[in-house]
Amino acid sequence: MIETGFIGLVAIPAGLGLFGFIEPCTIGTSLVFIKYLEGKDASVKVLETAVFAATRSIFIGLLGVLAVLIGDTFLDLQRHAWLVLGALYVLLGVLLATGQSRFFTRSIGPGLRRLSGYRGSVGLGLLFGLNIPACAAPLLIALLATAAASSGVTIAKGFTALAVFGLGLSIPLVVAVLVPRARGWLERIASLSGRYPAIAGLVLIALGGWSIWFGLFADLKAGTSAS
């Protein structure tokens, strides 16, 4: 059960989110978003990263509500999200590894910028909000275990816990963009796709393969009965 206090609704979800930032299924998300920011002014990077983080957090919070409402079925939906996003990483990785970096930049960078304003960041926040990493499985299972509670309280718990988790998942990116030295480090990472496209592509393919493997073979429901 998820407790209603600070530890259960804030501390644990935030900690899991921070840990999830370094998991393979979310590293691909960070790499794609960093590539999207490439070439933009520092102030624009900060604002768009904040929009991305807020959108992702709210969307994941709504997924928490959905998890409470539909129960175990949500785990199947999450499995499909891992498969779809894993396939996306593999596709982008193949484009890079085969020398199609111009297509990659045109599709992921300027292509999204043409959406005007911060729609690109909002769109990525929604898309990658579906990629709830493996470390959140215990949190999702705990949410499902509270489904028997009164609907209003359970829905509030579901949104708060998952929204805080989503914020923790994106905070490292926000901090990295705010700190000039870290921002330079991010730009160097983004530039690797241009200097060493084959290596960057293979990294994305490997991360996508991991996400697909997890979506196919992870046994998430094994812990639901224990909860």
Model confidence at 35: pLDDT above 60: yes
Q: Which of 183, 29, 36 is nearest to 115 (CA)?
A: 36
The mean per-residue pLDDT over the stretch 93-99 comes to 79
CA distances (Å), origin 48, targets 16, 36, 119, 168, 176: 24, 10, 9, 17, 13
* pLDDT > 70? residue 151: no
Count Cα atoms within 13 angstroms, Cβ side, for 115. 14
Report the percentage of the chain scoring pLDDT > 90. 8
Mean pLDDT of 180-187: 73
- Between residues 29 and 143, the one the model is more confident about: 29
Q: What is the pLDDT of residue 227?
A: 36
For residue 217 the two structure tokens come to 């073979």
User: Count of alpha carbons within 13 Å of 91, Cβ hemisphere only?
Assistant: 10
Q: Work out the mean pLDDT of the chain and round it to a whole number.
A: 76
Residue 153 has pLDDT above 80, yes or no: no
Helix axis angle, 73-97 to 42-70, nearest 10°:
150
- Report the 10 Å Cβ neighbour count for 83: 17
Query: pLDDT by residue (tens digit) across 47-88?
Result: 999 999 999 999 999 988 888 888 777 778 778 888 888 888
Q: Could you give the CA distance from residue 19 to residue 165 in angstroms, rounded to a whole number? A: 10
Minimum mean pLDDT range among 50-54, 75-79, 175-179, 205-209: 75-79
Mean pLDDT, rounded, for 129-139: 72
Count the helix, strand and coil residues of the chain and give each as a percent rounded to the nearest 5. 80, 0, 20
